[in-house]
Amino acid sequence: MPSLTLLGQALVSGLLTGGLYGLLALGLSLSWGLLRLVNLAHFALALLGAYLTYQLGVAFHVPPWLAVGVIVPAFFLVGVLLHLVFTYFRVTEFTSLLVTFGLTVILESVIQWFWTADFRRYETPYATASLRAGPLFVPLLELAACLTAVVLALGTWAWLRFTYVGKALRASAEDPPMAAAFGVNHRAQGLLLSGVSAAYAGIAGAFIALIATLAPAQIWAWVGVVFAVAIIGGLANPVGALLAGLFIGVSESLTMAVVAPAWAPLVSFSALIVLLIARPGRT
């Protein structure tokens, strides 16, 4: 049995990684739950955001927070364009998965073309900064990512819960013709939501640039676990996505500390399998 300090540290790093999972799952969960589109390209967009943050920082000395200011509106537009294409071709839930798989491969190739397949590391002065709480270290950047995830999840929840647009989106997801009969403009709101989830990918990307070592194949590393998080959290449920992210993050890092790092994937996927079989109606 590992020491208490080690367990505590595992808990902290699990929570922080989990926040990033939740951040990535947020946009996926929104477009899947409310637009019935499974956007695999979400991961590629996030990684593209990371590379852009890296490039702006390294080549033009743009600080990351300013880079986010550029990336978010640009990605919002990308999201809107993507949804325009989807609605024009009447892409269904299943074909959306295939189309966005194609997009992911294209984006992966683009990233590899510009930045090669080599590992890239964005060195910043605060990369290693961390808070100390007793014997535990809390890395600052990961804490910021986790807090951002919390803020965005709560904000999105309030947006869906209390505003007209949010209610209209939920109504359309449940019964599009009926919502339309009550005057809901699903198209405009779909564009908005698609833009928002792409922007979330951009924000997640900026944090990935600061925290992780970048390589084009990283796109695929996230797919499995973030899908699991989005489903466990309940589609179109922002707070659920966050909590599921934290749960998976913690259970993974505890498995790493107590059993062995290589067994970690078993936890999230077993949780997903059990959930799908026990409560298939959730999504």
Partner 1 sequence: MKASARSVGIALAVVFVGLAALVEAGLPAFYESFLYLIFSWMALATSWSLLSGYAGYFSFGHGAFFGAGMYTTATLTASLGVPFLWSLPVAGLVAALLAAGVGAVVFRVRRLRGELFGLLTLAITFVLATIVLNTRIDGGPGVYLSGVALPRLARSPTGTLYLLALTLAVGTVGLAYAITRSRFGLGLYAIHDDEDVAEVEGVPTFRYKLSAFVLSAGIAGVAGGIHALYVSYITVGETFAITVPLYVVLMSVLGGARHWLGPAVGAAIIASSLYVFTGGAQAILGRAVVALALVLVILLLPDGVVPALLGRRRRRAAAVSVSAGPAPATTARADDGGTLECRDVWKAFGGIQALRGASLDVAPGEIVGLVGPNGSGKTTLINVISGHYTADRGRVTLGAHVLTGHSAHEIAGRGVSRTYQIPRPFTRLSVLENVTVAATFGRARYPAREARAAALGWLEFTGLAARAHALPGALNLHERKFLELARALAAEPRLILLDEVLSGLNPAEIASAIRLVRGIRERGVSILFVDHLIRAVLELADRVIVLNEGEVIAAGRPREAMADPRVISVYLGTSHAA
List, in order, residues 6 or more apart from 215 with CB less than 8 Å away: 117, 118, 119, 120
Give whichever of 103 and 208 is closer to partner 1, judged by the CB atom.
103
Cross-strand partners of 139: 130
- Least distance between partner 1 and beta carbon 241 (Å): 15
- Least distance between partner 1 and beta carbon 131 (Å): 33
- Least distance between partner 1 and beta carbon 101 (Å): 6
- Residue 152 sits at the vertex; the CA angle it makes with 7 and 17, to the nearest 5 degrees, is 25
Give whichever of 48 and 228 is closer to partner 1, judged by the CB atom.
228
| Two structure tokens written together for 140 | 């600052």
What end-to-end distance do the CA atoms of the chain give, in Å?
38
Give whichever of 103 and 201 is closer to partner 1, judged by the CB atom.
103
Give whichever of 4 and 260 is closer to partner 1, judged by the CB atom.
260
With both helix axes pointing from N to C terminus, report the angle between 264-278 and 238-258 in degrees, rounded to the nearest 10.
Answer: 140
Give whichever of 55 and 112 is closer to partner 1, judged by the CB atom.
112
- Least distance between partner 1 and beta carbon 58 (Å): 21
Give whichever of 158 and 259 is closer to partner 1, judged by the CB atom.
259
- Least distance between partner 1 and beta carbon 168 (Å): 24
Residues forming contacts to partner 1 in the complex (CB under 8 A) are 38, 85, 89, 91, 93-95, 97-99, 101-106, 108-110, 112-113, 220, 223-224, 227-228, 231, 260, 262-263, 265-266, 269-270, 272-273, 276-277, 280-281, 283
- Least distance between partner 1 and beta carbon 56 (Å): 23
